[in-house]
Amino acid sequence: MLTKRDVNLTLISSQSVHNKNLMKIFTDLEVLSIPTKTNFRGINHREIVIFQGSAGWSEFSPFLEYSDFECRSWLRASLEGAFTSWENLSKKRILINATLPKIDPIKVPDFLKNFPGVKVIKIKVDSFESDADLVEAALDYIPDAKIRLDVNGGWDLKNALLNLHDFHLRFGPVFEYIEQPVSDVSDLKKLKEEVPMKIAIDESIRKNLDSDMTQLKECADFAILKWQPVGGKASAKELAEKIGLPVVISSALESGIGLSHGLALASESKVNLACGLGTANLLEEDIVKEPLQIENGEIEVIPRTPDEKIIAKYRATEERRSWWLSRMNRVLESGGFDEYIN
């Protein structure tokens, strides 16, 4: 079993962490494994790291398959969250969308009851054939809902045209946008010219953070920004300005700790569209003392703190803790975190 002394020795030997506050974070952080209510993104447990800095609690939770390089923006966001106070909040409450995973359409009413007052529903889809009934079930429950389809870049241009034609033919103008229908930027531009729905981009942003963002305005109508994947609030606001499209702040299946930072980002960015920040409902249980209660389709913007009893319930094994500490240490050693490690 790792002791606090073992952790300190590991970090000191790396010669990358000299900041005493950061050392304390690594020593005291919690690694959690929280079951999900349904299979989401192919996972049934969400592993996260939470820790407290001078500005409050923060979260580091890149998905397990992500490379160390991909984790850099996530760690930058989490350190920013721990050491940088919220400021210039323009709203006390943020409008959210419901996020509907791939479930039996019969279960849709019970699932959407978790989102009282919500009028926008985001649905993960693979194809018209497999998921049209899911869209219909959502509209049966909330007839005046706007629908967002999320494809995660899963179609090529031909399949995108075929599927979107069928969705539009069956449901008409209910779609607010289609999120990342294809991955290729040139195909996105062609698709935008061919289909009657609006296009939103997610992966095209967060997987190309160092590329020219100004061109994205030609291939999309909305930009999806996520607090951790894009590198934190400061980075997100800079990206939004460069892209020049209406922004939706969404989550990466974080706990209430990470979601609170997403809510603060939405407030500071003066976002007016419904945001994808109600995803704590996808976890078996959230870990915070101050629940992300949805009222009239909105969630309050406040800092949140972990509930010690819930933390004890979902604390990961020492083996997983060691894995996450090693991962964070490697990412820190890759450089670019001078303001936090010196």
Catalytic positions are: 124, 226
Torsion of CA 109, 249, 313, 2, to 10 degrees: 150
Kindly state the DSSP code that residue 316 receives in the 8-state scheme.
P
**Token pair for residue 219?**
């291939």
Give the closest residue to 227 by CA, choosing from 29, 116, 6, 75: 75
Q: Are 10 and 325 in contact (CB under 8 A)?
A: yes
User: What contacts 315, CB < 8 A, 6 or more positions away?
Assistant: 30, 31, 32, 33
In degrees and rounded to multiples of 5, residue 130 shows phi and psi of -85, -20
Q: Are strands 93-95 and 98-100 parallel, antiparallel or unpaired?
A: unpaired
CA atoms of 340 and 334, how far apart (whole Å): 13
In degrees and rounded to multiples of 5, residue 270 shows phi and psi of 55, 45
User: What contacts 271, CB < 8 A, 6 or more positions away?
Assistant: 94, 247, 248, 249
Which residues are bridge partners to 34 per DSSP?
46
Q: Are 242 and 214 in contact (CB under 8 A)?
A: yes
Tell me whether residue 319 is exposed, middle or buried, using C-beta atoms within 10 angstroms of its C-beta: 0 to 12, 13 to 18, 19 or more: exposed
User: What contacts 120, CB < 8 A, 6 or more positions away?
Assistant: 96, 97, 98, 145, 146, 147, 148, 176, 274
| Residue 110: Cβ within 10 Å count | 10
- Within the chain, strands assigned E span 30-40, 43-53, 56-60, 93-95, 98-100, 120-124, 146-150, 175-179, 199-201, 222-226, 247-250, 298-300
